[in-house]
Amino acid sequence: MKEIITLAHGAGGKAMESLIQQVFVPAFHGVEHAVLEDQARIPMRLLAEHGDRLAFTTDSYVVDPIFFPGGDIGMLAVNGTINDLAVGGAMPLYMSCAMVLEEGLPIEILQRVVNSMVEAANAAQVSIVTGDTKVVPRGQCDKLYINTTGIGVINSGVQISSQRACKGDVIIVNGSVGDHGAAIVSARTDLKLEASIQSDTQSLSELVQIMLRVCPDIHCMRDATRGGVAAVLNELADASRCTMYVDEKSIPVSPDVRGVCEILGFDPLYLANEGKLIAIVPESAAELVLCAMRQHPSGAGSVVIGQVVDQQGSAVVMETQFGAKRVINRLVGEQLPRIC
């Protein structure tokens, strides 16, 4: 096999077969349902064991650079899709992986990314059961892009929805915000920042299941990816037609992330996260949920950051560290392109 990706690797012939057999099959060798046909076949009983509703999601990953402090595009793709399922209350079970590769990509790079995907999937007990590979000429994509589609199952009794925030509900975040966005900024060579910031990319599946065990009636939950915490709060406030009140002093931001934001003029509320969630829970269950979250490594930094205070109109209002009131709006554009 050649040491770089060529157009032949996407042509459906011997080169493509060789790539699949030497890179993908050994990495995904534990996939019990993979038979190298055009579809994965999953017995219905395996899904029914986990609940009564199917959750289905897809996402594409084009992050630049593909390797960054704390992770890489492969880990990001797996964790991102797992989290999209998890915050809907689903147990993630199966995933597909489709790759668009740029001609000339070193196969060693592809292998590192695939290994990272397997490591992340195994850690979350998710199986990558089907996939696709395409190769485009040099310059028509940047190294590699990944699309992952995930399937999970929601247990009966779980009714998480963006429309269920109620007056009195408590808003919880599971740790410091802005880490992923700041890590990507620091990794971009044109900015040449020196900071020890690591991306927070991680699976939230186990943490969410722990939360649901102590409070099956969690009203809303969302992972705070592009647009950060500010975007999530606005989306939930709009969907539930409610006003949310958050306290800036309660929102955890690491000193390094705060430093990057001060230098570059970013607001950490709008920076992307890849391992943080916002949960809106009934006030009566908030302390129980918080205690459970703090027992898990992914939730050790969990704190209450605010409360739903009204159900007329929709708005997110923050009390600043100086005691002033500030309306938190959505971004008009994007602080950083290709963040995930």
- Specify whether 176 is located in the same domain as 224: yes
33 has a pLDDT exceeding 70: no
pLDDT of residue 36: 74
pLDDT of residue 61: 98
On whether the CB atoms of residues 20 and 133 are closer than 8 A, the answer is: yes
34 has a pLDDT exceeding 80: no
- Specify whether 88 is located in the same domain as 111: yes
Instruction: Assess if residue 336 is contained within a domain.
Output: no
156 burial level (CB within 10 Å; 0-12, 13-18, 19+): exposed
- Specify whether 323 is located in the same domain as 189: yes
For CA atoms 251, 268, 278, 114, the dihedral sign is negative
CATH number for 88: 3.30.1330.10
CATH number for 231: 3.90.650.10
335 has a pLDDT exceeding 80: no
pLDDT of residue 87: 98
97 has a pLDDT exceeding 90: yes
- Domain closes at, from 92, 124, 154: 154
- Specify whether 113 is located in the same domain as 56: yes
202 has a pLDDT exceeding 60: yes
Average pLDDT over residues 5-20: 93
Residue 301 CB: number of other CB atoms within 10 A?
17
Q: How many domains does the chain have?
A: 2
Longest dimension (CA), the chain: 67
**Which residue is associated with the tokens 């306290």?**
247
pLDDT of residue 312: 85
**Which residue is associated with the tokens 């493509």?**
16
Q: What is the pLDDT of residues 244-272, one digit of tens each?
A: 999 999 999 999 999 999 989 999 999 99
Average pLDDT over residues 5-19: 93
- Domain closes at, from 102, 128, 154: 154
Instruction: Assess if residue 164 is contained within a domain.
Output: no
- Specify whether 117 is located in the same domain as 204: no
Name the residue range of residue 17's domain: 4-154
- Specify whether 23 is located in the same domain as 144: yes
- Domain closes at, from 154, 186, 214: 154
pTM (2 decimals)?
Answer: 0.95
- Specify whether 129 is located in the same domain as 185: no
On whether the CB atoms of residues 173 and 229 are closer than 8 A, the answer is: yes
Q: What is the pLDDT of residues 111-139, one digit of tens each?
A: 999 999 999 999 999 999 999 999 999 99
Average pLDDT over residues 234-244: 97
Instruction: Assess if residue 35 is contained within a domain.
Output: yes
pLDDT of residue 331: 86
Instruction: Assess if residue 212 is contained within a domain.
Output: yes
Q: What is the pLDDT of residues 268-305, one digit of tens each?
A: 999 999 999 999 999 999 999 999 999 999 999 999 99
Instruction: Assess if residue 55 is contained within a domain.
Output: yes
- Specify whether 185 is located in the same domain as 254: yes
- Specify whether 180 is located in the same domain as 140: no
- Specify whether 134 is located in the same domain as 179: no
CA distances from 86 to 28, 90, 141, 295 (A): 22, 5, 30, 18
